[in-house]
Amino acid sequence: MSDANGKAEGSRTIRVDYLARVEGEGSLHLGIRDGAVEDVRLAIFEPPRFFEALLRGRGFGEAPDITSRICGICPVAYMMSAVHAMENAAGVSIAGPIRDLRRLLYCGEWIESHVLHVAMLHAPDFLGYPDAIAMARDHGEHVRRALGLKKAGNDIVRLLGGREIHPINVRVGGFYKVPTRRELSTLTEPLLRARDAARALVDRVAAFPFPEYEQDYEFVALRHPDEYPFNEGRVVSSRGIDIDVADYDSVFEEFQVPHSTALHARIRGRGSYLVGPLARYALNSDLLSPAARDAAAAVGLGPVCRNPYRSILVRAVEVLHACDEALRLIAAYTPPDAPFVAVPVQDAVGLAATEAPRGLLYHRYRIDASGSILDARIIPPTSQNQGAIEEDLRRVATACLDMPDDALQGRCEQTIRNHDPCISCAAHFLKLTVERT
Amino acid sequence: MMRPKLAVWKFASCDGCQLSLLDCEDELLTVADQVEIAYFMEASRATVAGPYDLSLVEGSITTAHDAERIREVRRQSKRLVTIGACATAGGIQALRNFQDVRAFTEIVYARPGYISTLAQSTPIGQHVLVDFELRGCPIDKHQLLEVIAAFIQRRRPVIRTDSVCTECKRRGTVCVMVADGTPCLGPVTQAGCGAICPSFDRGCYGCFGPTESPNTAALAAWWRRLGASDTDILRAYRNFNAWASPFREESEAHERRER
pLDDT tens profile A9-25: 467 776 666 666 666 67
The β-bridge relationship of strands A359-367 and A348-356 is: antiparallel
Model pTM?
0.94
Q: State residue A155's pLDDT score.
A: 98
Task: Give the count of beta carbons closer than 10 Å to the beta carbon of residue A259.
Answer: 16
pLDDT > 60? residue A430: no
* Mutation target vs B (from A49, A144, A156; most B CBs, 10 A cutoff): A49
Q: Which residues of B touch A112 (CB under 8 A)?
A: 23
Determine, for residues B196 and A162 on separate chains, whether the beta-carbon distance falls below 8 Å: yes
Amino acid at A371: G
Residue A283, CA distances (Å) to A202, A206, A221 in order: 20, 21, 7
For residue B193, list chain A residues with Cβ-Cβ distance below 8 A.
Answer: 163
B196 touches chain A (CB under 8 A): yes
Is the backbone peptide bond immediately before B138 cis, with ω within 30 degrees of 0? yes
For chain B, percent of residues with pLDDT exceeding 70: 98
Which residues of chain B have a CB within 8 Å of the CB of A1? none
Across the beta sheet with A220-223, what order do the strands follow? A220-223, A234-237, A242-243
Residue of A nearest to B107 (CA): A53
B165-187 as b/e: b if 16+ CB within 10 A: bebbeeeebeebbeeeebbbbbb
- Res. A335: pLDDT tops 70: yes
A contact test, residue of B25, B197, B231 with most A CBs within 10 A: B25
* For testing contact with chain A, the best of B37, B45, B47, B124 (most A CBs within 10 A): B45
Cβ neighbours for B49, distance < 8 A, ≥ 6 positions apart? none
- The pLDDT of residue A8 is 40
Closest C-alpha to A272, from A360, A420, A359, A387? A387
DSSP H helical ranges for chain B: 16-22, 28-34, 64-75, 85-89, 101-108, 141-152, 164-171, 176-180, 196-199, 216-225, 230-237, 245-258
Minimal C-alpha gap between B94 and chain A (Å): 9
pLDDT of residue A288: 98
Q: Tell me: the pLDDT tens digits for A137-172? A: 999 999 999 999 999 999 999 999 999 999 999 999
Q: What is the mean pLDDT of residues A53-82?
A: 96
Q: What is the mean pLDDT of residues A285-301?
A: 97
Asked if residues B143 and B192 have their Cβ atoms less than 8 Å apart, the reply is yes
Which of A251, A151, A139 minimizes the C-alpha distance to A194? A151
Distance CA A390, CA A42 (A): 7
The pLDDT of residue B43: 87
Q: Which residue of A has its CA nearest to B85?
A: A69
Put simply, whether B242 touches A (Cβ < 8 Å) is no
Computed over every residue of chain B, the mean pLDDT equals: 94
Task: Say what the pLDDT of residue A414 is.
Answer: 87
The rounded percent of chain A whose pLDDT value lies above 70 is 90
Kindly list the distances between the CA atom of residue B226 and the CA atoms of A61, A155, B84, B184, in Å, as whole numbers in the listed order.
19, 35, 31, 10
Asked if residue B146 has pLDDT above 60, the reply is yes
Contact A383, A265 (CB under 8 A): yes
Of A219, A241, A247, nearest in space to A388 by CA: A219
Three-state secondary structure call for residue B144: helix
d(CA B186, CA B203): 7
Residue A1: per-residue pLDDT: 31
Q: Does A22 touch chain B (CB under 8 A)?
A: yes
User: Which whole number is the average pLDDT over B69-87?
Assistant: 97
pLDDT at B91 over 90: yes
Q: Which of A119, A351, A110, A99 is nearest to A246 (CA)?
A: A351
What distance in Å separates residue B77's CA from the closest CA in chain A? Answer: 20
What are the chain A neighbours of B115 within 8 Å (beta carbons)? 48, 261, 430
Axis-axis angle for helices A311-332, A188-206 (nearest 10): 160
Q: What's the N-to-C CA distance of chain A in angstroms?
A: 14
Residue A242 pLDDT exceeds 90: yes
Question: What ipTM describes this predicted complex?
Answer: 0.96
The yes-or-no verdict on residue A43 having pLDDT over 50 is yes
Whether B137 and A164 lie within 8 Å, measured CB to CB: no
- Residue B19 and residue B26 in contact, taking contact as beta carbons nearer than 8 Å: no
| Pair B133, B190: CB distance under 8 Å | no
The confidence score (pLDDT) of residue A409 equals 82
Is residue B66 within 8 Å of residue B102, measured between CB atoms?
no
Mean pLDDT of chain A: 89
Which residues 415-434 of A are in CB contact (within 8 Å) with B? 424, 427-428, 430-431, 433
Whole-angstrom Cα distance, residue A177 to residue A259? 48
Residue of A427, A23, A421, A26 whose CA lies nearest to B105: A427
Chain A CB within 8 Å of residue B254 CB: no
Chain B segment 120-149 residues within 8 A of A by beta carbon are: 137-138
Q: What is the mean pLDDT of residues B109-121?
A: 78
How big is the A-B interface in CB pairs under 8 Å? Answer: 182
Of residues A382 and A6, more confidence is placed in A382
Task: Give DSSP secondary structure letters for A47-61.
Answer: PP--HHHHTTTSBGG
pLDDT of residue B225: 97
pLDDT in tens, A370-409: 999 999 999 999 889 988 998 998 998 888 888 887 888 8
A259-287: pLDDT as tens digits: 555 678 999 999 999 999 999 999 999 99
Please identify among residues 148-177 of chain B the ones whose CB lies closer than 8 Å to any CB of chain A: none
Number of Cβ atoms within 10 Å of the Cβ of A128: 11
For residue range B181-235, list pLDDT tens digits in order. Answer: 999 999 999 999 999 999 999 999 999 999 999 999 999 999 999 999 999 999 9
pLDDT digits (tens, 9 = 90+) for B13-38: 999 999 999 999 999 999 999 999 99
CB contact under 8 A, A21 and B41: yes
Per DSSP, the three-state class of B10 is strand
